[in-house]
Amino acid sequence: MIKEYLQNLRNLIAESELFLKVEIVRDAIWETDIETIAIIRFRLFLLNGDRIELTERLIQSGQSINRTKYSYHLQDALGKLILRYDNAPHFPEISTYPHHKHTQQNVESSGEISSIEFLKLILNKFYGANCNFAKV
């Protein structure tokens, strides 16, 4: 399940024509008798100079996958935040704690999302990419 999920993410990145460069900072999977653990960190550089960072730690036990840590970040070419989703436990007053999103104006409640969901959101909302995501 984890391997398929990560392959779907890689396919989505490879199919987009918006990326100038893809930097894989970390892409590791450990398998034990009990569980499978994956940690990824990708930096995606867009043609317009903006940057996306995807960080996830996933644990698969049986047929379930638990996203224990995630951070998805979009910034402009000057390094200014556009949008970020994460589950860092630093806003306990948020109704969806620890899940939340950072916008340019504030921090808001948000449910948990995957890196694939974030990437689709970003590519469609901010870049108007009419990508066919049926395969992912």
pLDDT tens track of the chain, all 136 residues? 999 999 999 999 998 888 999 999 999 999 999 999 999 999 999 999 999 999 999 999 988 999 999 999 999 999 999 999 999 999 999 999 999 999 999 999 999 999 999 999 998 887 776 554 433 3
Q: What is the pTM of this model?
A: 0.89
Q: Is 118 exposed, middle or buried (0-12, 13-18, 19+ CB in 10 A)?
A: buried
36 Cβ partners below 8 Å, 6+ apart? 2, 29, 30, 59, 60
Helix (H, G, I), strand (E, B) or coil at 31: strand
Q: Phi and psi at residue 125, in whole multiples of 5°?
A: -75, -45
The predicted structure's pLDDT at residue 3: 93
CA proximity to 101, closest of 123, 74, 77: 74
The predicted structure's pLDDT at residue 128: 77
Q: Is 14 exposed, middle or buried (0-12, 13-18, 19+ CB in 10 A)?
A: exposed
- Matching residue, tokens 């995606």: 44
Q: Cα(9)–Cα(132) distance, rounded to whole angstroms? A: 14
